[in-house]
Structure formats: structure tokens, C-alpha cells
């Protein structure tokens, strides 16, 4: 090798060495950031489970959704922590990495197991919501029917007293005509209650179904991503 060639290679090698040092510094920053994100994710999860509400389908469903929607933070944290594999690691760090590698497998299994629970809670919440709406609707219909029954049996004087209680008066109108008008309004109100009940039930079903699909698919994708991290960090489990 001639001297001119060597003179050209030395600056290049120095540049590569400097680049490697800078990459190592950046790598350490990434890893510290990763550990920080994992800690923040842990604090967030602890806050979600305090106080716990197990066996409560509404709490379980909302917590399931919250876990899925917050999963990007720990995913990014794991990727940053494992970045660079074994290069420039402290001796004590390998135990943590081994634990975190197995933790990704545990999280993958957890999200897979949450899918059947999410589906079951969707069905339970849908049935509960429909039942509650029906009860409220039935209460309103019962009140309307009781008023309808009272008006059918009411005398002209009682109709006049009823109007006064509503801040109105006959104003020379035929009491029977007024009664018929009120009965017609009650009939329309009953139809409106039934229509609103069906619309509310449909709206709640769609809302629950949309969230269920989004969160269950999110859980499936999350499980696949955690599993891929576990598979890609075999080197961490070999120590």
C-alpha cells in the first residue's frame, strides 16, 4: 500500500471512529428514554387498576380499552431499551433485559387472553344497556298511560282543574274537545318515547360494537407486536 493511499485512509478511519462514538452516545440516550417510557407506562397502568373493579363489566371493558390505547408507549419503550442489542451494555443490565424480554411474551399472551373477555363484556354491556333503556322507557310509558286513564275518566271540572295545574285554562273551549286534544298529545308522546327508545338502543349498540372491534383488533395487533419483540430479543435471554 502506498503512502498516499494510507494518508487517505487515516482520515476516513478517524471519521468512522468518531461516528461510532457518536452512535454509542445516541444509543445510550435511546435506552435511557426507553426505560423512562416503560416506567411511565407502569405508573399509568397502576393508576388504572386503583381501585380495581374486577367482575364489573363496565370497568373491565373501559380498562381493556385504556390498556389497548396506551400500548404504543410501552412498545416504543421496549424497542428503545433493546436497541443496539449487546453493544455497550453494563453487566447488571443483562438481567433486566432478560426479564423484559420474557415480559414481552407475557404481555403478548395477556392481550390475546383479553380478546375473549372483551367480546364477552361487549355482549354483557349491550344486554345491560338495552335492559336499562327499556326500564326507563317503560316507566315513562306507564306514567303516560296512567295520565291517559285519568283523563278518560275525568269530568269537565276535573279537566279544568288539570289545565289550571298546567298554567292553562279552557278559555271557552269545549271540555271534551280539550280532553281529546290532550289524549292525542299523550298518544303522540307515547309513540315518540317508543321511537326514541329504539334509536337510543341502536345508538348504544353501535357505539359498543365500534369500541369493541377497535379494541379487540388493537389487542390482536399489540399481541403480535409484543411477540415479534420477544422473538427478536432471543439474544437477551441467552445470557
Segment 83-114, tens digit of pLDDT: 988 888 888 899 999 999 999 999 999 999 99
CA distance 111 to 71: 10
pLDDT at 172: 64
pLDDT at 160: 72
Show the low-confidence residues of the chain (pLDDT under 50): 1
- For residue 230, CA distances in Å to 5, 82, 214 come to 46, 10, 24
CA distance 238 to 126: 47
Cα radius of gyration rounded to whole Å, the chain: 34
Which residues, including other chains, have CB under 8 Å from residue 148's CB and lie 6 or more apart?
183, 186, 187
Task: Find out whether 183 and 145 touch, Cβ atoms under 8 Å.
Answer: no
Domain residue ranges in the chain: 3-237
pLDDT at 1: 47
pLDDT at 181: 84
Q: Which DSSP category does 70 fall into?
A: T
Amino acid at each position: 500500500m502506498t503512502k498516499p493511499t494510507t494518508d487517505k485512509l487515516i482520515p476516513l478511519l478517524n471519521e468512522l471512529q468518531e461516528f461510532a462514538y457518536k452512535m454509542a452516545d445516541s444509543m445510550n440516550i435511546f435506552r435511557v428514554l426507553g426505560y423512562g417510557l416503560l416506567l411511565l407506562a407502569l405508573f399509568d397502568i397502576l393508576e388504572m387498576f386503583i381501585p380495581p373493579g374486577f367482575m364489573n363489566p363496565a370497568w373491565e371493558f373501559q380498562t381493556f380499552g385504556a390498556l389497548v390505547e396506551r400500548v404504543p408507549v410501552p412498545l416504543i419503550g421496549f424497542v428503545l431499551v433493546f436497541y443496539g442489542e449487546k453493544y455497550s451494555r453494563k453487566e447488571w443490565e443483562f438481567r433486566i433485559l432478560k426479564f423484559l424480554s420474557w415480559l414481552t411474551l407475557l404481555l403478548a399472551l395477556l392481550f390475546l387472553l383479553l380478546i375473549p373477555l372483551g367480546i364477552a363484556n361487549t355482549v354483557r354491556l349491550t344486554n345491560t344497556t338495552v335492559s336499562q333503556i327499556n326500564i326507563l322507557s317503560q316507566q315513562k310509558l306507564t306514567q303516560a298511560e296512567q295520565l291517559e286513564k285519568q283523563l278518560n275518566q275525568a269530568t269537565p271540572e276535573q279537566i279544568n282543574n288539570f289545565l289550571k295545574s298546567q298554567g292553562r285554562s279552557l278559555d271557552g273551549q269545549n271540555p271534551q274537545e280539550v280532553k281529546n286534544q290532550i289524549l292525542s298529545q299523550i298518544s303522540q308522546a307515547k309513540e315518540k318515547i317508543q321511537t326514541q327508545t329504539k334509536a337510543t338502543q341502536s345508538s348504544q349498540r353501535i357505539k359498543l360494537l365500534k369500541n369493541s372491534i377497535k379494541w379487540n383488533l388493537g389487542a390482536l395487533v399489540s399481541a403480535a407486536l409484543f411477540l415479534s419483540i420477544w422473538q427478536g430479543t432471543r439474544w437477551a435471554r441467552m445470557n
